[in-house]
Structure 1
Amino acid sequence: MQTMENELQNALRYDGRVAIVTGAGNGLGRVHALLLGARGAHVVVNDLGGDVHGGGKSSAAADQVVAEIKAAGGSAVANYDSVEDGSRIVQTALDHFGGVDIVINNAGILRDSSFAKMSADDWDLIYRVHVLGAFRVTHAAWPHLRNKGYGRIVMTTSAAGIYGNFGQANYSMAKMGLIGMANTLAIEGAAKNVLVNTIAPLAGSRISETVMPPQMMEALKPEFVAPLAAYLCHESCRENGSLFEVGAGFHAKLRWQRTQGHHFHGQAFGPEQVARHWQEIVDFDDATYPASIGESLMSIVQDVGSPFGQSKA
C-alpha cells in the first residue's frame, strides 16, 4: 500500500506541456494521446482518418480520441491534416495552446509487397507518410523547441527497419531512415535541451492486425508500449539518441556492435587477402560498441601514425 501511495505522489506529470501525437486516432497513437492527456498535457490529436493503406480521410477517429481526453478532464484538440502538411499540424498546437513541447511521430501505413512486385507508388507513399511526414512535422516544430530550450521528440521505427522483413522493403527503408534522422537530431538538439529518441514497438494496431493472429494481438496491447514513449517525453528523462525495442511489457535498449576486424595497415591487398582474414572480420567474440562517428572512426585513424608497409597480413 505504501509503495502505491508513493508512486501516486511521485507520478510523472506533463502539466502545461503541449504534445503533438500523429496518427493518434487509433492503436498506439491513441494510447499515447490518452496517457499524456490524462497526465496534464495539452494534446494535439492528429489523424488523417485514412485506412491502413493510406486511402480515404475522416475526422471521426481524431474527434473520438479528443472526446475521450476531455471526458476524463483533459485538454485536447483534433487535427485532420496529413503528416505531409506538418506545418499545419504544428500550427494547430500554436493556435490552440500557444506552443509545442513534445512530438511523437507515430503515423504510419503499410503497402506490403515482395520487392519484385512492388510498385513505385508503393515505395513513394510509404516514404511520404513515414519519412517525409516525420520530417515535415518535426521540422516545423524544431525552431519552437530550440527557441524555448526544451523539447522531447520520439520517432517510431519497427523491427522491420532494424532487421528487415520479407515483403516490406519500402517499410523497412522508411523505418530505418527514421532511426538515422533521430540520431542526427539528437546530436543537433542536445545543446538546446531538445532530446530525441526512437522506439521500435510491437503492439496491436490496424497495421499489425494485417500480419498477426488475434491471440498475438491481444497480448501486444498498445498500453504496454505507451509508458516508455511517455517517459522519454518527460522533462526528467535525459536519455538522448537511443533506440528501444518495446512490447508485451518487454523494454530493451539496442546499440551497434562491431567486431575487432582486421587491419591491412596500408599494404596493397585484394579479395584473396580479405578471404584469408574473413574469420577475423566477422568474429564478434571480442566485440566493440561504437556509439558515435568519432568512436567509429577510431579503429581507422589509430593507424594513421603507424608506418605503412609493416604488414600484418
Structure 2
Amino acid sequence: MTGVADRVAVVTGAGSGLGRAYALELGRRGAMVVVNDIAAGAAQAVVSEIVAAGGKAAASSETVTSRAGGRAIIDLAISAFGRIDILISNAGILRHARFEEMGEPEIDNVIDVHLKGAFHVGQPAFAAMKRQGYGRMLFTASSSGLFGHPWQASYAAAKAGIVGLANTIALEGKDHSILCNVIMPSARTGMTQGVDYGWKAEVTEVGATLDRLIATPTDGVDRLDPDWVVPLAIHLVSDDAATTHGVFSACNGRYARVAISAAPGWIAPAMPSADDIAEHWPQICDAGNLFEPSSVYDEALDVRLALVKHT
C-alpha cells in the first residue's frame, strides 16, 4: 500500500470536492489529517467521516488568505499530531470575467486564495519539514494556467504562478528530503460547476474545440469524478514518491507529466536586429528537439554550451 500511514497531512480546501476526496483517502490509508476549509461545518463533517472509519483527524476553519491563518493551520497539525509531513495546497475559488472587465475583486480575491494562500501555508510547512528532514508538498495548478482559458485571467495567472513557486520550493527542499510537485486536476466539483460559458460566442476557436469535446463519445465512465484524481495525488505525497520538481496532469483518467521546455532555437553570432529575428523565426520556433531546463541556470548553461559549439 502506498506509504502515507502514520504521516501527518494537511489538506486545504478539504470540506468538499477534490480536497475532501484527498483527505478521506489519506485517512483511510492511516495518515493523521488536518482538514482545512473556511466552511467549518464542512471541515468537521469530513473529520467525522475519517474518525468514524477508525482514523485520526482534526478540523481547521482558518483562511489561507492571511499569514496568520496559514500558520495556524500548520500549527494545528503540529500541536495535534506532533509534526507535519504532507501538505496538499488545494484551496481555491474561481471568478469569471472578460480580461478587460476584471475588477479588483476578480483579481485580488483569486490571487489571495490560490497563489498567496500557497505561500501562507507553504512557508510554515516548509520550515517545519526542513527541521525534521522530511516532507511532501503538493500544490494545485490547472491547465487553465499553463494552456489558457477564456474569462479566467486571474485564475490562470495564479495557477501559473503556483508552478513557479513549486519549482523553486523543489530546488530549495531537495537537500532536506522535501519533495515538491504540482498537480493539474480535471474534476467535476462545486467550483467547476459554476463555470460561465458565455465566452464561447466570443472565443470561437476554443468554443469549437469544446463542442467537439462534448460530442466525442465516451466509455460511459464518469472520469471527472474527483476520485479519479486521488491516486496520483496520494502517490506524489507518499513515502514511495521519488520525484520532485514535476508538474503532473490527471485528466479523464490519463496521468501524465507536463513539461516546461525550451526549443534549441537560434544562437545569434552577434547582436541581432529585429530583421535577423524575423529571418530565423522558423528555427526559433522549431520544437522538434525540446530541452527541459530544471532551473534558470540550467537553461543559461544549455545556451552557453550551444554558443561554444557554434563558435
> Paired residue for 1:166?
150
Q: Is 1:82 the counterpart of 2:63 in the alignment?
A: yes
Change (3 A) 1:306 1:283: closer
RMSD across aligned positions (CA): 2.2
Superposed CA offset, 1:260-310 (max 9, x none): 2112212x4311111111111111223333333233113432366589xx8
In structure 2, runs of 5+ residues without a counterpart are: 198-213
Q: What is the alpha-carbon distance in structure 2 between the residues aligned to residue 181 and residue 69 of structure 1?
A: 31
SS at match of 2:84: coil
Give how far 1:217 is off: 11
Q: Distance in 2 between matches of 1:265 and 1:299?
A: 16
Structure 2 equivalent of residue 61 of structure 1: 42
After superposition, where does 1:20-169 map in structure 2 within 5 Å?
20-49=10-39, 59-84=40-65, 85-169=69-153
- Displacement after TM superposition at 1:219 (Å): 3.2
Please show how residues 293-304 of structure 1 align to structure 2 within 5 Å.
293-302=296-305
**CA 1:249/1:305 → structure 2, altered by over 3 Å: closer, same or farther?**
closer
Q: When the two structures are superposed, what TM-score results if normalisation uses the length of structure 1?
A: 0.87
CA distance in 2, matches of 1:299, 1:12: 37
Partner of 2:252: 248
Paired with 1:194 and 1:288, the residues of 2 have a C-alpha distance of: 25
1:229 aligned onto 2:233: yes
Q: 1:236 to 1:303 in 2, by over 3 A?
A: closer
Would you identify which runs of 4 or more consecutive aligned residues in structure 1 move more than 3 Å? 212-219, 303-307
Correspondent of 2:290 among 270, 287, 292:
287
Shift of 1:254: 1.1
Look at both structures and tell me which one has the larger radius of gyration over its CA atoms: 1
Kindly state the Cα deviation for residue 132 of structure 1 after the two structures are TM-superposed. Answer: 0.8
Rounded Cα–Cα distance in structure 1 between residues aligned with 2:12 and 2:150: 27
Q: Which moved more, 1:274-283 or 1:22-31?
A: 274-283
2:280 and 2:166 mapped to 1: Cα distance? Answer: 35
TM value normalised by structure 2: 0.87
SS of equivalent to 2:121 = helix
Question: 1: distance between equivalents of 2:71 and 2:291?
Answer: 41
For 2:276, which of 273, 278, 297 is the aligned residue?
Answer: 273
1:287 aligned partner, one-letter code: L
Render the CA deviation track for 1:46-86: whole Å, top value 9, x for unaligned: 0002xxxxxxxxx2110110111111111111000101210
CA distance in 2, matches of 1:131, 1:283: 32
Runs of 5+ unmatched residues, structure 1: 1-10, 50-58
In 2, Cα distance between the equivalents of 1:212 and 1:224?
Answer: 24
Q: Is the 8 A contact 2:8 2:31 kept in 1?
A: yes
Q: Distance in 1 between matches of 2:266 and 2:78?
A: 54
- The one-character-per-residue Cα deviations of 1:75-102 (angstroms, maximum 9, x if unpaired) are 1110001012100101111121111110
1:179 maps to 2:163: yes
Q: Percent identity?
A: 37
Counterpart CA distance in 2 for 1:230 and 1:299 is: 34
Query: CA-to-partner distance for each residue in 1:15-56, whole Å, 9 max, x for gaps?
Result: 22110000000000000000000011110000002xxxxxxx
Change (3 A) 1:217 1:77: farther
Residue aligning to 1:5: none
Superposition pairs for residues 195-234 of structure 1, below 5 Å?
195-211=179-195, 218-234=222-238
CA contact 1:34–1:68 (8 Å) conserved in 2: yes
Equivalents in 1 of 2:193, 2:282: separation in Å?
41
